[in-house]
Structure 1
Amino acid sequence: MFALRKIFLALGFLVLVLLYTIPPRTAVLAFETWRDVNAVQAAFDGDENNVTDAARALLGDARAWHAELAPFIADAARFAWLPHYGGDFAQVEKFAALADELVIAAEPTLKLYDALHENLASQRSFGAALIDFSRANAAQIELAQAALTRVEHARAKIDERELSPQAHALLRTVDRALNEWDAALRLLGDAPQLLGNDAPRHYLILAQNNDELRATGGFISAVGVLRVERGEISVVWFGDSFAVDDLSLVHSPPPAPLQKYMWASQWLLRDSNWYADFPTSARVAQGMYENDRHLKTDGVIAVDMRFLPRLVQAMQVELDGEPLSQNNVLARLKASWQPMPPGDMSAEWFKSDRKNFLSELMNGMLTRFRAGDIKTNALAQALWRGLREKSAQIYLNDADAEQAILDANWGGAVDAGAQDYLFVVDSNVGFNKVNARVTREIFYDVNLGENKATVEIVYKNPSRAAEGECDLLKQHKDTTYASMEQSCYWNYVRVLAPRGSQFVLAKGVSDAGVADDMEAVTAFGGYAIIPRNTTRTVKFDYALPARLIHNNTYSLKLQQQAGAPATPLTVRVKIPDDYSVRGASHPFTWRGQNILEFQEMLWQDTTIHVYLNR
């Protein structure tokens, strides 16, 4: 205790010395920046009229900081000899140039925002206003894109190989923001086509339940179609996913695991999202809807239950005279769940009982949307955060718009990259909602000298223990949503690896081997059962393609499954004896002489780079 007190006293003394030595102007500027950051956040959260003023104040702070730090920026390269952070100091001028271009590029986008906000305020129809704005401001959109291109050129001059993990983290934030910024401008330019200015557009809506996890986010429990014509949105149809199918028609056989473990004889729309690549599954769903409902759609929008609280909070919807909020919407949704009736599932039952809550919710939101009675900033933030966490995913038939979606990583695509790759995909094939409780942790070991890899997934199922073994047939007798959350976990697990990988062995699963999936990857799969109140480990060993090290760099692309919670991940990389480590993009710990260990919380896609010398 005494030693700890001495440490705190020493830290306190250092803080006092630092505060004493900071020039008054710097201290004032730090306070003003803190104040303006809070003002920007407050403007986005509530005061939409003050967004650009608050943003411009923050940009002014950035210019002031550049002036304040100019002497340090000019001399920073002198500290390139420092260990660990030397590469950061060597490129301070490049970072400063990037910051300057960011400040310059922000102004044309802020002008667009001012004009858009004024345009939306003057019209009752949100969609029509967006079309008019896009057409009238095409030149200004191009100016904003040109300014953003200059930012990208400044970013490209920074040599990532020389940076610390902390500087890498900053660059990852910048890179993602630039990709999203660029995509937003491109989609704004495409708004007239996407919103049906020339011809009506139809968009397929998939409501995915991530408590029953599937490859792209969850079991498709409800389906709808929106018609958009000249910005005006209407509901063509919305209802239970079981009610979509025309069972008088012939459907193709489903993927083998659905046939074997869920006894499916036909591939129906509710199971269309079997493949983790959302564009692939979206096209499958479109084809099925067109086959059964005779309507061709122009895109697919999928959302899971994590997105609902964000959306409801942004749109302030009421149902039955009671306000919905981010705190009560999921509880009300689960309370509305109805089990399958015994015997025939009549059309009348679908109409009166099944998924009524979601239909009423969609109608309530559309009513507010059509009336322009929404907070555009709050809605934009909800959508942005949903796309980032993959609780919302978009696929568009329009090639240019779809490319913008993919470039921003909003489209849920499998992106294997050029070197090593890992994507763990779980699919609940147990007719229950146990993913509300099940957790997983991933361990990945790769030997770069021998091109060998091992993936271990540790599943924990905290469901209450019950008598008897896991009985899948008994699962259908659950009568409440809560009872479906307490069960065994029947899981078909896939590991997506670089194309050309070779299966060696698996443990903890049955029917293990190469699994059917898209051509860009090699998939290994198997069937795992995790009983109640149990922890089980699934393991896959496989050989990777040769030449994982390119230009003295090893890169591992990691993708997080939509619908899954943030996943603890440990990556251990064994370096060949004839290489030494120069640096890495993420913090790591040495485990032995030549093993690097990375520990991450995987909530979004990321790429780990290890830079080597030979």
Structure 2
Amino acid sequence: MKKILFILLVSGLILGSLGGGCGWSAAQVARGILGGQLKIKNWELKITRWCFGGLPLVNQLDRLLDNKTYVVLLQNNTELRASGGFMGSYVVLGAKGQGLSDMRVEDIYQPDGQLVGHVDPPAPIQQAFGQGWWKLRDSNWDVDFSVAGEQIAWFFEQGGEKVDGVIAINLSFVNLLLGYLGEVKTVTYDERVTAQNLANLAQTYSEVNKEKRDFLGAVGAALFERIKTIGPMGQIRLIGLIYKELQNGQILIWMKDKDVEQEILEKGWGGGLGNYGGDYLYIVESNLGANKANCCVQRMITQDLQLDEHVIREKLTIKWTNTSEFSDPKPPVFWGGNYVDYLRIILPKSARIQSVMAESKLLVEKPLDYQYGIQDDRYQVEEKDRFKIIGFWAVVLAQQSLTIQASYQLPDANYSSILVKRQPGIESFPYKLIVEGKVVVSDTIDRDKEYTWTK
């Protein structure tokens, strides 16, 4: 497992290792890191820095490997959260001057139980669960991972884990590995694991057999053994696949070291909201129904713009369909159910909200109370840096659909472009942009995309 996960920190290095003496040196360094044999000041590392100094994080290798501890979040995106999914387990990777020194898989509830003191939860978490406190397992809440990563690290440290960096990956990423590598057989469990059955097996071992940590560790070991058999070129193609996931925002990284964190944000790997200067749309869903309903939820988004001389009038329509067979989980064969989603819509800060409707119900602008039980009659608005965030409940019952519409204006806007962001953990969704009654975009959003229109 450690070689699969720590490869995220050296993928840029390996991608650059395809030619000449520079390529040979980079390959040697990468093998040393992954094999725990790297000496920070050896001549291979110096040559690699000289050759590939322009690649991401290459000049930071000393700092990345100097007595550092990284946490890799194993998120289940069939229970969607802001950074991708519910954090059920995690991997701790230790790095010292000789490379990787330690690896262990843990259940998220282990450090959760060590938290001293009390932290008030965000209101939607309190309304969903009514427990009165904020815990590590729900700490990937902020829509900006450069903020959430720091909060996650804080919770881990209160639970006794040293953290120098956080890497968030999803169950869908492990499925991607299985799709590339093929079926694997676990040594300690009599299971043949595939991309098709991993989610159900992981949930069964978690909720029924109570052996989630050991099972995921066994899957990781089996994947590593398979990776060893695919040869150097197969491994390089695998690195390319991982790099693509980074570029598409399905893997997120936060680093405590501010210089390294800044480089990650500049590469677009940090899950930040960015500094885009045009129109902006980012839909963030959080499944607070204590189920895996995102196995069975699809959404489609339509944005309708009317361009007046001094204002852009926009109507945003989101329609979800929940194909869950049952309203509640039926272990061990079905883990979905009603989709209890706290939705946040991120817009430009200048947006003036006109109305929010769920089907035919007009919501009122009013803050959520810190009470148990969801208040689906209202929406709340907050400002964050360059953005305005509309938050409200969107509950999609099993075998039903839900449509919401948000109308707003952008005054004094001279925009002719929009950035549409895709939330980690969501593979894709259909998107349509209508400007002055004309469809100018009909596309699938499988990564962050920018569109322009003519006034």
CA-CA distance at 1:337 after TM superposition: 2.3
Aligned to 2:271, which of 394, 409, 412? 412
Q: Which residue of 2 aligns with 1:519?
A: 385
Conservation of the 8 A alpha-carbon contact between 1:305 and 1:330:
no
Aligned to 1:156: none
Does the aligned pair in 1 maintain the 2:29–2:45 contact within 8 Å? Answer: no
* Structure 2 CA distance for aligned equivalents of residues 257 and 377 of structure 1: 43
* Residue in structure 1 matched with residue 46 of structure 2 by the alignment: 135
Distance in 2 (CA, whole Å) between partners of 1:397 and 1:369 is 30
1:76-475 to structure 2, matched below 5 A, reads 112-117=22-27, 126=35, 128-129=37-38, 131=40, 132=42, 133-142=44-53, 145=54, 185-196=55-66, 200-235=67-102, 237-246=104-113, 249-293=116-160, 295-312=161-178, 313=180, 319-320=186-187, 328-329=194-195, 331-338=197-204, 353-363=211-221, 376-449=235-308, 450-464=311-325, 475=328
Give the Cα separation in 1 of the matches to 2:283 and 2:61: 35
Identify the match of residue 569 of structure 1 among 431, 447, 455: 431
Equivalent residue in structure 1 for 2:354, among 504, 508, 533: 504
Q: For residues 321 and 363 of structure 1, do their structure 2 counterparts lie closer, same or farther at Cα, with a shift above 3 Å needed?
A: closer
Q: Which residue of 1 aligns with 2:409?
A: 543
Once the 2 structures are TM-superposed, how far is the Cα of residue 285 of structure 1 from its aligned partner? 0.4
Offset of residue 501 of structure 1: 1.8
Q: What's 1:102 paired with?
A: none
1:495 and 2:345 are equivalent in the alignment:
yes
CA contact (8 A) 1:502 1:544 kept: yes
C-alpha deviation, 1:232, in angstroms: 2.9
**Once the two structures are superposed, what CA deviation does each residue of 1:545-603 show, in whole Å capped at 9, x if it has no partner?**
42233xxxx121110011012110001123xxxxxxxxxxxxxxxx4xxx452111101
Cα distance 1:210–1:119, how it changes in 2: closer, same or farther (>3 A)? closer
Q: Deviations over 1:182-210 (max 9, x none)?
A: xxx131222222122xxx10111111111
TM-superposed CA distance for 1:107, in Å, is 11
Asked whether the 8 Å contact 2:39–2:97 carries over to 1, the reply is no
The higher radius of gyration belongs to 1
Which amino acid letter does the alignment assign opposite residue 65 of structure 2? L
Greater mean deviation of Cα atoms: 246-255 or 528-537: 246-255
- Shift of residue 322 of structure 1? 8.7
Structure 2 residue aligned with 1:173: none
1:555-594, aligned counterparts within 5 Å? Answer: 555-574=417-436, 591=437
Per-residue deviation at 1:247? 5.4
Amino acid in the other structure paired with 1:260: Q
In the aligned structure 2, how far is the partner of 1:207 from the partner of 1:423? 23
CA apart distance, 1:377? 0.6
1:484 equivalent among 316, 329, 335: 335
CA displacement 1:94-130 (0-9 Å, x = unmatched): xxxxxxxxxxxx9997653243235657x69545449
**Structure 1 regions of 5+ residues with no counterpart?**
1-50, 53-105, 146-184, 343-348, 575-590
Question: For structure 1, which segment, 397-406 or 299-308, has the greater mean C-alpha deviation from structure 2 after superposition?
Answer: 397-406
| Structure 2 Cα separation of the partners of residues 379 and 401 of structure 1 | 24
Supply the distance in 2 between the matched residues of 1:218 and 1:424 (Cα, whole angstroms). Answer: 15
Contact 2:296 2:323 in 1 (8 A): yes
Distance 2:102 2:173 in 1: 20
Aligned residues: 420
User: CA 1:317 to 1:520, structure 2 compared with 1: closer, same or farther past 3 Å?
Assistant: farther
Shift of the 328–363 alpha-carbon distance from structure 1 to 2, 3 Å rule, reads: closer
- State the Cα RMSD in Å: 3.5
Contact 1:217–1:561 (Cα < 8 Å) also in 2: yes
* Residues 340 and 361 (structure 1), Cα distance of their counterparts in 2 relative to 1, 3 Å cut: closer
Query: How much does 1:610 deviate?
Result: 2.9
1:528 Cα deviation after fit: 1.5
The CA deviation at 1:224 is 2.8
Which of 431, 435, 440 pairs up with 1:597? Answer: 440
Q: Secondary structure at the match of 2:203?
A: coil
Larger RCO, structures 1/2 (Cα 8 Å, 6+ apart):
2
- Aligned-residue identity in percent: 23
Displacement of 1:265: 1.5
